[in-house]
Amino acid sequence: MWAKAELSLTDLKPGDTAEVISIRKGRRAQMRLLELGITPGTRITVVAAHPLRGPVVVRVGMLEAALGWGLASSVRVRRLSQAGDL
């Protein structure tokens, strides 16, 4: 059931894997994510979520990147697997 729901990247927990559906932010933000290889359809894994609306660290392929909370919240995702599933 949760596999269908559209979430924000900030709703995910460390260890969760998800597929990016869309990025609801301006061109500049989309470009910066695109440069890191994050576009709709990309699979990302949450590595860490810093407290108090701190940055979210994600893994894309073998790359790790930190996204500020504001940006991370604009990334809409579909959860594929939850921490501990594997």
- What is the distance between the alpha carbons of residues 17 and 82, in angstroms, rounded to a whole number? 6
Contact pick of 15, 19, 76, 78 for other proteins (by CB under 8 A): 15
The answer to whether 8 and 73 are in contact (CB under 8 A) is: yes
Q: Is 5 in the site for other proteins (CB under 8 A)?
A: no
- Shortest separation between residue 73's beta carbon and other proteins, angstroms: 10
Contact pick of 1, 36, 75, 77 for other proteins (by CB under 8 A): 36
In the chain, where do the E strands start and end?
Answer: 6-8, 17-23, 43-49, 56-60, 63-67, 75-81
How many residues sit in the footprint of other proteins (CB under 8 A)? 43
Residues that bind other proteins (CB under 8 A): 14-15, 17, 25-37, 39, 45, 47-55, 57, 60-71, 83-84, 86
